[in-house]
Structure 1
Amino acid sequence: MIKRILAVIAVSILGVGAAFGAEIVKFGVQAPITGNYANEGQGIEKAVRLLAKQQNAKGGLLGHKIEVVVCDDEGKATQGALCARRLVNDGVFAVIGTYTSGAASAAQPIYARANVIQTSDGTAEMLTRRGYKTFFRNAPPNSAEAKFTAHYLVKIKHYSRIAVLSDHSSFSKGLGDATEAAVKRDGGHVIYRGYITAGSQNFMSVLTKIKSLKPDVIYFSGYYSDGGLLRAQQARLGIKAVFVGGDANQNTEFAKIAGSAARGTVIVNVPAPANLPYAEAKAFLADYKAAYGTAPPSIFTLTNADGMRAIMYAVEKTKSLNPDKVEDFLHHLRDFRGITGPLGFNKHGERLGSAFQAFEIQADGSYKTLYSE
């Protein structure tokens, strides 16, 4: 009986990962490694592996070697919950990811119960309103992006006929609804509010309806895999409206999917990787390209890298792998020198210190900044 009790205690200690001084500290990656958003998920995994390799070369984290454990959630809620259970069972100390709000939401309570730190790009408002002390958002919320987008569309560009399109995901619907409301608060006119089915490939029907309303601008709050197709099909129908995409359209694959129609597309997001004026960003971009032979697919590779960098910084400053101490430190973090600029978190795990830009895709696929906060 005593042996069985000791075995249970040993398993329990292993289950909380490196918090009590094991030789290895495990960082999980939960991301869409396959599926519609594989380009983003693979970028997140590569960033985490690069940071782990660099930290291990410096002697590890408090002397412990970092091991990376990856779980593919395909950007789906059901898989997100499965990944969370698997990574918790694997004894991870912290999890970087995921990319979609739906998968992040499904994983949240599982990580919270296990006291596993989670950083994510999920921007749905609910993620930081649930009170989970383990959750930290490494990208700004929908409300902040919506406010900037509305100001740009109404006050800066003076568009009078605005069409708003979303898919049915919690992220896209939330951002679309918030942008519609912000446009109206700014005195703008939304002539159409509609939805597409993500991944359906053919959007001619909804675009034909929008064409009949003669919009000045079509704003799409969904993901790049659909956004690129919408832009290409818009051009095919001869719709002259400007196409403005929310942050999830900022990915190198957008231009490949849209083809020549990508030129002139406007994306709203925090600064694109190439536009970041920080020495840390330039160094990481160079290291990433040297390691993988290509630039990061989007800014979200870097925001996730910043999530991991912030956690490692908190561990080093607290000299502890106790999740409670690290979480408390992160909730009070201010002006950390992030790859994506000054970084901090408030008591809800909301990121502090981000500014948005509107930038335009050029003929060569590069970005030109049109307007900044």
Structure 2
Amino acid sequence: MQFKSKMIPLAGALAFALAGGAAAQEQVIKIGSVAPITGTDAHMGKDNENGARMAVEDLNAKGTTIGGKKVKFQLLAEDDASDPKQATAAAQKLVDAGVVAVIGHLNSGTTIPASRIYANAGIPQVSPSATNPKYTQQGFKTAFRVVANDAQLGQVLGQYAVKTLGGKSVAVIDDRTAYGQGVADEFAKGVKAAGGSIVASQYTNNKATDFNSILTSIKAKKPDIIFFGGMDAVGGPMLRQMKQLGINAKFMGGDGICTGSLPGLAGTALGDNQVVCAEAGGVPEARRKGVEDFRASYKKRFGVEVVYTAAYAYDATNAVVEAMKKANSWEPAKYLPELAKSNYPGITGTIAFDAKGDIKDGTLTLYTFRGGKREMLAVTK
């Protein structure tokens, strides 16, 4: 009995040592995620983070080998609160922590300043949602995006406003952010190119709640359409005040207002067919089932519906890992060339980039809202 009692601890120690050895052989690869987790855009930022987190969890669950070595991915998530200064601080923190890729940021106004930090460190950055053209026009080889940019989105919406909705007079409001101002400017170009007229240009900010002054000024111009360049947290209350002032113009916007959260933010002011917006991405019919399956898995995992960018963050993460596998390395300098020539079949479409880092053949999806729910109008390019 005494001999047996000594053997049990030895066996336990041996098992522990073996387990520790196996764990030691598993390489941990850190991937960063940055988005606003606090502030008015927090619901969209968490959606971004959740998409990347789902990808990491799925990759770890099925097991991934790179260069003959079993790896485990770890997501390091940071909050930039939609603030450029906080964004650069978060970017530097991730660089210091040793991430080999970053999925983010959400907003153009945070993505652009952070991109220089990642470029200087040689770390690939793939944004699932930043649409301002300037992001990929800086010449950074590390900057990529998986959605169409504002030039494409704004032009399509501007053409649609005049040619399909019959809007001859259009008022434009933006929130002075890199995203809001950028998409509003491109929309105005599209309207003018289609023969429409911009009768008013106003601006607010991304934390405003009172729009009576600018809306009263716009009401006097009697526009057919009001376009808002900004996010749903501002767009929803703006719709409410439009209704209070008796403004019956169509309300248009980019992907910032084209979310599942807009009905709750706008309430009864949403109306049927009053809002037309575009999402900087689009899924053709052939891929529809894959997206629906993803949405179901997402809801099961997080207990909430997809807001907007989750599937794009999921695809961005997987495209990065696919590049690592092809390069047989997770070192940024070695896998970056493979990422640049990606041809990854994602949920949202094929992830392939042009020389600047923009998505090739970027699609757009036009939506309206009926009965408090978002309904697709068309997928276009």
Fold-level match, TM-score > 0.5? yes
Q: Measure the CA separation in 1 of the matches of 2:269 and 2:46.
A: 26
Q: Distance in 2 between matches of 1:297 and 1:103?
A: 20
Deviation sequence 1:191-220 (CA, Å, 0-9, x none): 111111221201011111111111101111
Counterpart of 2:111 in 1: which secondary structure?
A: helix
Q: How does 1:312-331 map to 2 (within 5 A)?
A: 312-331=321-340
Deviation at 1:272, TM superposition (A): 7.0
Q: 2:345 aligns with which of 337, 348, 371?
A: 337
Tell me the residue number matched to 1:238: 246
1:165 deviates by 1.0
Asked if the contact 2:282/2:364 (under 8 Å) is kept, the reply is no
**Alpha-carbon distance between aligned partners in 2 of 1:22 and 1:353, rounded to the nearest angstrom:** 38
Kindly tell me: are residues 347 and 371 of structure 1, through their superposed partners in 2, closer, same or farther at Cα, counting changes over 3 Å?
closer
Residues 129, 368 of structure 1: alpha-carbon distance in 2 compared, 3 angstrom cutoff = closer
Farther-moved stretch of structure 1 (78-87 vs 119-128): 119-128
* Aligned partner (choices 88, 91, 97) of residue 90 of structure 1: 97
Q: How many residues align?
A: 351
Q: 1:371 to 1:308 in 2, by over 3 A?
A: closer
The 3-state SS of whatever aligns with 1:103 is: helix
User: Which consecutive unaligned segments of at least 5 residues does structure 2 have?
Assistant: 1-24
2:359 is aligned, of 351, 356, 362, to: 351
Find the residue that maps to 1:158 and give its secondary structure. coil
The Cα offsets for residues 341-372 of structure 1, whole Å up to 9 and x where unpaired, read as 22211111111132222211111323242674
Counterpart code for 1:128: T
Note if contact 2:282-2:363 (Cα within 8 Å) is conserved in structure 1: no
Pick one of 135, 140, 162 that aligns with 1:132.
140
Residue number in structure 2 paired with 1:31: 35
Q: Which amino acid aligns with 1:59?
A: G
Aligned to 1:117: 124
Whole-angstrom CA distance in 2 between matches of 1:366 and 1:145: 18
Aligned partner (choices 287, 296, 307) of residue 297 of structure 1: 307
CA contact 1:359–1:368 (8 Å) conserved in 2: yes
TM-score, normalization by structure 1: 0.89
Match for residue 262 of structure 1? 270
Contact 1:310–1:330 (CA<8 Å) still a contact in 2?
yes
Separation of aligned partners in 2, 1:319 and 1:279: 32
**Comparing 272-281 with 142-151, which one deviates more in the overlay?**
272-281
The two structures have a TM-score, normalised by structure 2, of 0.87
CA spacing shift, 1:169–1:361, aligned 2, 3 Å? same
C-alpha distance after superposition, 1:283-337 (max 9, x if no partner)? 3212111111222111x12222221111111112222213123221222224x32
How far off its partner does 1:158 sit?
A: 2.1
The amino acid that maps onto 2:374 is S
| One-letter code aligned to 1:156 | T
TM-fit CA distance, 1:128: 0.5
Name the counterpart of 1:101. Answer: 108
Alignment of 1:70 with 2:100, yes or no, is no
The unaligned stretches of length 5 or more in structure 1 are: 1-20
Distance 1:360 1:275 in 2: 18
Q: Of residues 211, 226, 239 in structure 1, which corresponds to 2:234?
A: 226
Report the Cα distance in structure 1 between the residues aligned to 2:119 and 2:378, rounded to whole angstroms: 40
More deviation in 94-103 or 356-365?
356-365
Q: In the aligned structure 1, how far is the partner of 2:368 from the partner of 2:110?
A: 29
1:11-63: per-residue Cα shift (whole Å, max 9, x none)?
xxxxxxxxxx9810001111101111100111111111111111111113522
Which letter does structure 2 place at the counterpart of 1:355?
A: T
Contact 1:124/1:174 (<8 A) preserved: yes
Q: Could you tell me which of 162, 168, 178 is aligned with 1:160?
A: 168
- SS of match in other structure, 1:193: strand
Identity of aligned residues (%): 29
